[in-house]
Amino acid sequence: MKRIPRAAAIALALTLLLSLCGCGAADGKTHLTFQIWDVYQRDSMVAICDAYTAKNPDVVIDVQVTSWNEYWTKLEAAAESNTMPDIFWMHTNQILYYTEFGMLADVTNLYDDVDPSFYQEHFSEISIGNAQGFDGKMYGVPKDKDNIVLCYNKEMFDAAGVSYPDENWTWDDMVSASEKIHAATGKYGFMAYNDDQMGYWNFVYQAGGCILTEDKTRGGFDQEGTRKAMDFYIGMQKTDWCPDQTYFAETTPQTTFFSEGGAMFLEGNWNLWNDVTSFPDMQGKWDVARLPKCPDPVQGDGRATISNGLCYSTAAHGKNREAALDVIKFFGTEEAQTIASSYGAAISAYDGTEQAYFDAFAKEGYDLDLEVLKEQFEYGVQSVNNSARPKWKAPVLDELNKVYNGQQSFEAGMDNIQEIINTETAKKLANE
């Protein structure tokens, strides 16, 4: 009698174990995972996966969304144990770090059978740059390209009798418009909050300065143009028409803008679809414009916008490497990039597929002057990065916080930031 329950227990345990193994590929198909961080792009990503699996019925792709912060913690842990998702998005913030340690598959020659100069022919220089590793090889297929625009509230401009921003708008115009709007309506003008890509980076490059030098080995915070822009940007919070950093700690410029508390803020074009669909009551009350230019830049013509882009990557030593490579090869084609664009969430990187993005807005009746996006790509500046950036990002933010709340003088703060970037970069270079 005693033996029977034991045998039963063993049988049960075996069944459990077997059922675990069964999770693999019981249907004989190749199962791939595809990790992304933006929930608003889930639909477009599922759509391109469907387009692929329609042609390759033996492949199943599972799109998984993780939040931005967790994404990088998880991906790094997965990379250490060689259990990365089969396909994933890669960002310029991280690509140098990942490629330096050989974590990503080299896709430079992915399209050689189609066209050896595929990338150069169909993608912009910035898009290619954003997908290049530390050694200049391609470690991802360019996915999209973006830039930063100025959102403004038309009603507030009307109320203050100020004409809408046009292509000749400068920083000075923006300041005087903010003053007039604040005086006429009591609302905030331009909301200059402490952000890099959607904030001061744009102003720094407009003024002819830089965050990193051309060779990316040193910071640019000792340069005249950089300081001029930083002084202007940080200084805006001292005015009545711009909220200060304590305000922004609790309320984002986006929230303030769409609750009609402020007239202008900088927005990344990847958020615009979310903005129009989340705030239908604001329809027709706001529009987008080019970023105002620096009236007296140290060098250049005063125009710049930060242009970033993601890419599709796969692990260098992944289990399903070949299958995944075939999928991302498809993701880089005109067909897939047109589908992705048509969801309005991001502008695909492939030249000529942009129109689908603009059509998505028009089709739903969202009337924004999106032409400015196209024009801004002409003077887009590649998103700032070097392999030490993860190390200097947080300390630079802390230092800027001190300048904002007056614990640190502007000059000393800029000196310290320069020092932080230089030290961390030198340390990183010494380890290579």
Partner 1 sequence: MNKGAKLSAAAKREQNWAYIMVAPTIIGLIVLNLWPFVQTLYTSFCEHLGFGHYKFVGLQNYIDVFQRPEFWRATWNTIYFCILTVPLGLFLSLLVAMLLNAKIKGKGAFRTIFFLPMVCAPAAVTMVWRWIFNGEYGILNQAMGTHVGWITDPNVVMIACAVVAIWSNIGYDAVLLLAGLQNISKSYYEAASIDGANKVTQFFHITLPMVSPTLFVVMIMRLMASVKVYDLIYMMVEDTNPAVTSVQSLMYLFYRESFVAGSRGSGSAIVIWTVLLIGAVTIIQFVGQKKWVNYDV
Q: Which is nearer to partner 1, 102 or 352 (CB)?
A: 102
Stretch that binds partner 1, among 117-125, 129-137, 247-255, 304-312 (CB under 8 A): 247-255
| Residue 397 interacts with partner 1 (CB under 8 A): yes or no | yes
Q: How far is the CB of 16 from partner 1 (least distance, A)?
A: 15
> Quick count: other Cβ atoms within 10 Å of Cβ 136?
10
In sequence order, the β-bridge partners of residue 381 are 306
- Candidates 12, 249, 362, 426; binder of partner 1 (CB under 8 A) is 249
Q: Which is nearer to partner 1, 100 or 179 (CB)?
A: 100
Q: How far is the CB of 25 from partner 1 (least distance, A)?
A: 28
Stretch that binds partner 1, among 95-103, 113-121, 133-141, 143-151 (CB under 8 A): 95-103
| Residue 198 interacts with partner 1 (CB under 8 A): yes or no | no
Report whether 346 contacts 270 (CB < 8 A): yes
- Candidates 15, 64, 67, 73; binder of partner 1 (CB under 8 A) is 73
- 54, with CB counted inside 10 A (0-12, 13-18, 19+), is exposed
| Residue 37 interacts with partner 1 (CB under 8 A): yes or no | no
Give the Cα separation of 428 and 388 in Å (integer).
Answer: 6
Q: Which is nearer to partner 1, 11 or 394 (CB)?
A: 394
Report whether 129 contacts 384 (CB < 8 A): no
Q: Which is nearer to partner 1, 78 or 298 (CB)?
A: 78
| Residue 248 interacts with partner 1 (CB under 8 A): yes or no | yes
| Residue 105 interacts with partner 1 (CB under 8 A): yes or no | no
- Candidates 391, 408, 413, 416; binder of partner 1 (CB under 8 A) is 391
Q: Which is nearer to partner 1, 15 or 255 (CB)?
A: 255
Binding site for partner 1 (CB under 8 A): 73, 76, 79-80, 97, 100-101, 103, 193-195, 245-251, 390-391, 393-395, 397-398, 401, 404-405, 431
